[in-house]
Structure 1
Amino acid sequence: MPPKARAAGKAKGPTKRALAEAFPAGEVLTDTGKKSWKLGAPIGQGGFGMLYLANEDNAKPVMADAPYVIKVEPSDNGPLFSELKFYMRAAKPDLIQNWVKTNKLKYLGVPKYWGSGLHEKGGKRYRFMVMDRFGLDLQKIFEERGKVFPRKLVIQLGLRLIDVLEYIHEHEYVHADIKASNLLLAQKNPNQVYLVDYGLAYRYCPEGKPKEYKEDPKRCHDGTIEFTSIDAHKGVSPSRRGDLEILGYCMLQWLCGRLPWEDNLQDPIYVRDSKIKCRENIKEFISKCFSSDNTPGEMLKFMEEVKSLGYTDKPNYQKFRAILQEGLKSIGATDDDKLDFSVVSGSRKFSKQKTTKRKKVEEKGESSNEPDTGPVKKKAATKKNEVNGMEKNAPKKQLVEKATQTSPAPAAIKRRTRGRPKKNA
């Protein structure tokens, strides 16, 4: 039985949406640019949509090494429509390529948008989006490695994500749901990592005008409970400082195994108050995560810098990079662009124990401007037999497990979050 709804508003159940129907391999979809795409085998299924291997339409069938995936859901549903707004504004290939060139980056971990449109079949309309194909998500690797990552790796992931956040922030968006399950390795290059799932992406600065700080009890605790920002716990719209705070929590968990508040994730008030207390004394917070002889100084400085940010402040991204680079130097390492996931020993302070199940509710669709204040559902912190948050439903021979072959795609259709902030058109 789910916990009682928050006192701030009357309980309201999650919006019911139509389930996706499977399309046969070979089905051809035409996007708004009149480009045709051929569907291959389905590789994932969520509550409202399907994920397929795909290729540009040609005379040959879509093979297992297809470079694209297409996400399809009934047109009346909201999740994919919401995500499309971000991709169409900020993830077009030329925008990303120009940014990479201007900022002299080797790559940018933002998935590219290749097309979208509507498709009719059997008297029904479906919305679809074409994206790059990716490999394994970091949550799966994190669990396989005993829920601890090497310090060098964590710092490198932080550096790559600062690049991503600076890009999406400069394009008027914040992500609001950074976590290991939303970080995917490139299909052909396991040294590249991409931040996916922009279902909660929020346009914090439409037309260059930042949103004002305003607490809304109806929107409290949006995001993934263990990582979401203090602002989100208070019902405040996502912000740039919130993204960096979430990144800080993720990095700390990857380093030490568990965050101090993971013993009671079913109580969002407890989690919120724990985070506030930790922000008040960051040094003590860090000491709770690590043994005294194994404290990463860069994380103390990182969280202190996050604390110094105002709600509408533009972060000094270069300062955050410098903090992490200093951390690499302190362990005699350099950013060699190689992501080494080797297991390390003796780095976790917490005992390995089952994490309390997260509190989540299914997100509201884009058709409504009212936040979802429905009852909270219980869901396991991690799910087995999934491809990027969706159940594997294709034959085993069509679903590849290796990092160089697995085919999760950006933007999980089945949400792992507790509600959705209001979007801006």
Structure 2
Amino acid sequence: MLLHYCPQCGSKLQSGFKFCPSCGEKLPCLVNSAETADTETAVVSDPGPHGSLHSLSPGPHSVLSALNSSKDAVEASASSALTRSPIFRSTRQTATKITSSPATPPKAVKYTDQRALTSPRKRKTSPKVQEEEEKEPKKVSSLSAQTSPSDQKCLTSPRKRKASPKVQEEEELKIVPLPQAQTPPSAKSKAKRAKRLCVVEPVQEGVEFCDQSGKKWKLVKLLFQTEVELTYGVQQVSVGTSSDDWKHILRLGAKEGQLFNEQNFLQRAAKPVAVEKWMKKLSMDFLGIPSCVGFGLHDTYRFLIFPDMGQTLQSVMDIEKKCLPEKAVLQLALRLLDALEFVHENEYTHADIHAGNIYISTIGHSQVFLSGFGHAFRFCPGGNHVEYREGSRTPHQGNLNFISLDSHKGAGPSRRSDLQSLGYCLLSWMTGTLPWSDITKSSSAISAEKERYMTDVLGLMSSCFKKRRVSDVLQSYLSQAMGLHYTEKPDYSLLKAGLNEALQKMGGTLGAPLIFR
């Protein structure tokens, strides 16, 4: 006879199966018909609470079914099944007592048959039974004592063989995790800070630099230097060059410093073709955007090469040691507004306008170049103006005396930022001072002073001019620049018209040489 349930997985079976279709285990069967008859009439005993046995007989839904071919055997099995009661099984069952008819002596059933009589789905243990077994581990029935250890292990449900929570905790405590290797803190941010603050060491004159196109340039003379940048006069190395005359300048700085940002701006927005196209569009004879003729890397440095643009405005002011005439200031303002309009139309701002970044040509003193785009910011990528957000950039970047309030607060500089910076420069060049020009003041104090004068242009002019006559055209320019919104586009034509009108009244023209005396 075969089984209706698999003793391993509990799947239902059809008659005639010898292997379980779910788990593949071989199904146990009875040895002979005599054992079959005895097994069907067996009474399975279950120990009660005090060790007594309650005799139970298989019910009408017994896990064994008759497979005898003879009709008499089937009828006998069906008649005997009517007198049987349902089978009770639990995981606490530890032994089985086989009882036969009075004429037949007791006969033991093999363990395989006994397992077949029990459905795995009915061998679940209730929580109360589990608690009793944990509290009384030594309480075992008399029949279980007669069972061999191997049989006892087999009679135990696989689900009951799991370790108790306490045992699991003890085993977990025995497993000591290996100490993880502690990775040292990243020094990337420290390295970046060091690069920003590193002082560029001068390079010996005569050293040759090779740019990206393979051209070689020899350092001829160190012109001037700052903490983050060196400027050399250089000449292109070619056959027959022996003189020390130079027609180009080389600016040298840290590889990842401000020159990297300036190189990106020049290659993206200030190509010579774009400059010429802009000049042709507006019928201009000159535009003060420098043309980069070479760039490259040398050891740990980055360098940019430009045609000689003359001398910086700061060096001129250092020589003169006095304020600039109003006529020269207006000429500078008009030339710089032309350059700023081009830069702004190409989605960038300069963000660091001061005399050290302005070059005056030595021939004629009529050409003015706006250089030093190390802090250039793309304020309108793809035609979409960035939102005003304080702290989005490093605050106080640039020359503290002349940067805008937006730059002090860490917001991305916009077009109004450049016009305000230019206004501070014009005021300083004309009067020689600013209310916050005291070098002992901190950057936060300078920012507070600028914020105070944002809505008090007249007070700002009075503080700088003191008892002298205030320049009306400069006051008008500052009022327009301070009144701009963050994303507002300035009216460059209106600004330049007011400055040009005042310049003409003084007898000056835009193309006339600059006179600093």
Matched to 1:136, the amino acid is Q
- Measured against aligned partners, the alpha-carbon deviations of 1:180-216 in whole angstroms (never above 9, x if no partner) come to 1111112434221111111111111122221110011
Checking the alignment, whether the CA contact within 8 Å between 1:185 and 1:191 is kept in structure 2 is yes
Checking the alignment, whether the CA contact within 8 Å between 2:248 and 2:306 is kept in structure 1 is yes
> Which among 229, 235, 258 is matched to residue 410 of structure 2?
235
Checking the alignment, whether the CA contact within 8 Å between 1:90 and 1:168 is kept in structure 2 is yes
For 2:241 and 2:418, the matched residues in 1 are separated by: 41
Alpha carbons of 1:217 and 1:88: their partners in 2 closer, same or farther (altered >3 Å)? closer
* Residues 1:319 and 2:491 aligned together: no
User: 3-state SS of the aligned residue for 1:84?
Assistant: helix
Checking the alignment, whether the CA contact within 8 Å between 1:226 and 1:265 is kept in structure 2 is no
Q: State the Cα distance separating 1:161 from its structure 2 match.
A: 0.4
Of Structure 1 and Structure 2, the greater helix share is in: 2
Checking the alignment, whether the CA contact within 8 Å between 2:234 and 2:250 is kept in structure 1 is yes
Alpha carbons of 1:92 and 1:259: their partners in 2 closer, same or farther (altered >3 Å)? same
- Match for residue 248 of structure 1? 423
Checking the alignment, whether the CA contact within 8 Å between 1:55 and 1:62 is kept in structure 2 is no
Matched to 1:29, the amino acid is C
For 2:378 and 2:482, the matched residues in 1 are separated by: 22
> Which among 254, 257, 267 is matched to residue 88 of structure 1?
267
> Which among 445, 463, 478 is matched to residue 270 of structure 1?
445
- Measured against aligned partners, the alpha-carbon deviations of 1:309-363 in whole angstroms (never above 9, x if no partner) come to 1111111111110121232244454434220111xxxxxxxxxxxxxxxxxxxxx
- Measured against aligned partners, the alpha-carbon deviations of 1:277-313 in whole angstroms (never above 9, x if no partner) come to 2221212221222245511101111011112211111
Checking the alignment, whether the CA contact within 8 Å between 1:42 and 1:52 is kept in structure 2 is yes
User: 3-state SS of the aligned residue for 1:219?
Assistant: coil
For 2:500 and 2:234, the matched residues in 1 are separated by: 39
Q: State the Cα distance separating 1:146 from its structure 2 match.
A: 3.0
User: 3-state SS of the aligned residue for 2:421?
Assistant: helix
Q: State the Cα distance separating 1:244 from its structure 2 match.
A: 0.3
For 1:333 and 1:190, the matched residues in 2 are separated by: 14
> Which among 332, 335, 341 is matched to residue 516 of structure 2?
341
Alpha carbons of 1:48 and 1:63: their partners in 2 closer, same or farther (altered >3 Å)? farther
> Which among 175, 182, 186 is matched to residue 350 of structure 2?
175
- Report the TM-score when normalising by structure 2: 0.58
User: 3-state SS of the aligned residue for 2:488?
Assistant: coil
- Match for residue 53 of structure 1? 233
Of Structure 1 and Structure 2, the greater strand share is in: 1
For 1:287 and 1:22, the matched residues in 2 are separated by: 46
- Report the TM-score when normalising by structure 1: 0.69
- Measured against aligned partners, the alpha-carbon deviations of 1:351-382 in whole angstroms (never above 9, x if no partner) come to xxxxxxxxxxxxxxxxxxxxxxxxxxxxxxxx
> Which among 58, 69, 76 is matched to residue 249 of structure 2?
69
For 1:217 and 1:94, the matched residues in 2 are separated by: 33
Q: State the Cα distance separating 1:62 from its structure 2 match.
A: 6.1
Alpha carbons of 1:334 and 1:116: their partners in 2 closer, same or farther (altered >3 Å)? closer
Q: State the Cα distance separating 1:46 from its structure 2 match.
A: 5.3
For 2:444 and 2:296, the matched residues in 1 are separated by: 41
For 2:262 and 2:475, the matched residues in 1 are separated by: 34
Checking the alignment, whether the CA contact within 8 Å between 2:347 and 2:380 is kept in structure 1 is yes
Q: State the Cα distance separating 1:39 from its structure 2 match.
A: 1.5
Alpha carbons of 1:52 and 1:230: their partners in 2 closer, same or farther (altered >3 Å)? closer
Q: State the Cα distance separating 1:27 from its structure 2 match.
A: 2.6
Checking the alignment, whether the CA contact within 8 Å between 1:297 and 1:327 is kept in structure 2 is no
| Identity between Structure 1 and Structure 2 (%) | 33
For 1:12 and 1:27, the matched residues in 2 are separated by: 28
For 1:230 and 1:125, the matched residues in 2 are separated by: 34
Alpha carbons of 1:265 and 1:189: their partners in 2 closer, same or farther (altered >3 Å)? farther
Q: State the Cα distance separating 1:67 from its structure 2 match.
A: 1.7
- Match for residue 329 of structure 2? 154
Checking the alignment, whether the CA contact within 8 Å between 1:225 and 1:265 is kept in structure 2 is no
Checking the alignment, whether the CA contact within 8 Å between 1:72 and 1:128 is kept in structure 2 is yes
Alpha carbons of 1:273 and 1:330: their partners in 2 closer, same or farther (altered >3 Å)? farther
For 1:278 and 1:226, the matched residues in 2 are separated by: 14
For 2:437 and 2:415, the matched residues in 1 are separated by: 24
> Which among 215, 218, 232 is matched to residue 390 of structure 2?
215
- Match for residue 312 of structure 2? 137
Alpha carbons of 1:114 and 1:289: their partners in 2 closer, same or farther (altered >3 Å)? same
* Residues 1:184 and 2:359 aligned together: yes
For 1:216 and 1:143, the matched residues in 2 are separated by: 35
- Match for residue 117 of structure 1? 296
For 2:432 and 2:230, the matched residues in 1 are separated by: 33
Checking the alignment, whether the CA contact within 8 Å between 1:40 and 1:62 is kept in structure 2 is no
Alpha carbons of 1:199 and 1:336: their partners in 2 closer, same or farther (altered >3 Å)? closer
Alpha carbons of 1:324 and 1:19: their partners in 2 closer, same or farther (altered >3 Å)? closer
Q: Which runs of 5+ in 1 are unaligned?
A: 1-9, 343-425
* Residues 1:39 and 2:208 aligned together: no
For 2:482 and 2:202, the matched residues in 1 are separated by: 47
For 2:243 and 2:499, the matched residues in 1 are separated by: 41
Q: State the Cα distance separating 1:60 from its structure 2 match.
A: 2.7
> Which among 70, 88, 98 is matched to residue 277 of structure 2?
98
> Which among 176, 191, 194 is matched to residue 15 of structure 1?
194
User: 3-state SS of the aligned residue for 1:260?
Assistant: coil
Say what the alpha-carbon RMSD is for the aligned residues. 2.8
> Which among 19, 25, 37 is matched to residue 206 of structure 2?
25
Aligned residues: 326
Checking the alignment, whether the CA contact within 8 Å between 2:331 and 2:509 is kept in structure 1 is no
Alpha carbons of 1:12 and 1:147: their partners in 2 closer, same or farther (altered >3 Å)? farther
Checking the alignment, whether the CA contact within 8 Å between 1:109 and 1:161 is kept in structure 2 is yes
Q: State the Cα distance separating 1:102 from its structure 2 match.
A: 1.7
For 1:20 and 1:176, the matched residues in 2 are separated by: 26
Matched to 1:81, the amino acid is F
Q: State the Cα distance separating 1:139 from its structure 2 match.
A: 1.5
Alpha carbons of 1:143 and 1:313: their partners in 2 closer, same or farther (altered >3 Å)? same
Alpha carbons of 1:141 and 1:20: their partners in 2 closer, same or farther (altered >3 Å)? closer
Which has the greater radius of gyration? Answer: 2
* Residues 1:164 and 2:339 aligned together: yes
Matched to 1:313, the amino acid is E
